[in-house]
A = this chain, B = another copy of it.
Amino acid sequence: MTNSPRVTVWNEYRHEKTHAEVAQIYPDGIHEAIATHLRGAGLAVRTATLDEPEHGLTADVLAQTDVLIWWAHMAHGEVADAVVERVYGRVLDGMGLIVLHSGHFSKIFKKLMGTTCNLKWREAGEKERIWVVEPGHPIAEGLGEYFEIPHAEMYGERFDVPAPDALVLLSWFEGGEVFRSGCCYRRGSGKVFYFRPGHETYPIFHQPEVLRVIANGVRWAAPVAGPSVRFGHRPDPLES
């Protein structure tokens, strides 16, 4: 396992530039809030954003990325298909991908899931309580039995994703809904972790438990030096 995975935090980075309220909470962007924490946890971190050339996700950057973190909300449609294909190829080749909150509707997540990734939502600043249901999973390290987010956008079931390979976190919402909030998947040689919390108008990415889960997710999703798989025609049987 990679001891110190190299992380790229990708952010759409639009809300922060156009909404004063968001800029106040994340003056350098959501990506920098997350990146700063991960650097403090000893990880090598770079950032990339939508408006950079190739969205900052060149072949070279991706080749040097062990785990990619994805936050986006209002501009999913502006992500170039060629970049989506590039990220997709890297995930299948072993790169980890952590999809945050509204990233559920990103092209890359929908493509990897094979479903609509749709859900119910409501912006009412409700309390969310996130329960750990797999206490022995690496993503639960350092957490208590639950943690609370004082004011959150509600996401409710039915969440239209395949059943996760491991379900680690479950959310309770003040308004009466529940949600599978921490979902682990394998796709190709790579790993995908969907983590529900986060919003541009709440300081959720400053909350220690949320940042802890993201850092845990990075370590879980880091690539493994497993076999190089050769697909296609194998004309010679292994046995004669």
A122-B237, A133-B157, A160-B188 in contact; A224/B138 too (CB < 8 A)?
A: yes
A227 at the interface (CB under 8 A from B): yes
A79 at the interface (CB under 8 A from B): no
Residues of chain B within 8 A of A111, CB atoms compared: 114
Within 8 A of B (CB), among A167-182: 167, 170-178, 180
Report which of B133, B156, B225, B231 forms a contact with A234, defined as CB distance below 8 A.
Answer: B156
**A113–B188 Cα gap in the complex (Å)?**
10
Mark the stretch among A50-58, A123-131, A197-205 that contacts chain B.
A123-131
Q: Distance (Å) between the CB of A85 and the closest chain B CB?
A: 12
**Copies of this subunit:** 4
A31 at the interface (CB under 8 A from B): no
The count of chain A contact residues (Cβ–Cβ below 8 Å) is 77
**A119–B230 Cα gap in the complex (Å)?**
8
A114-B187, A160-B229 in contact; A166/B165 too (CB < 8 A)?
A: yes
A120 at the interface (CB under 8 A from B): yes
A238 at the interface (CB under 8 A from B): yes
A131-B177, A166-B165 in contact; A140/B227 too (CB < 8 A)?
A: yes
**A178–B233 Cα gap in the complex (Å)?**
15
A231 touching B120, Cβ below 8 Å: yes
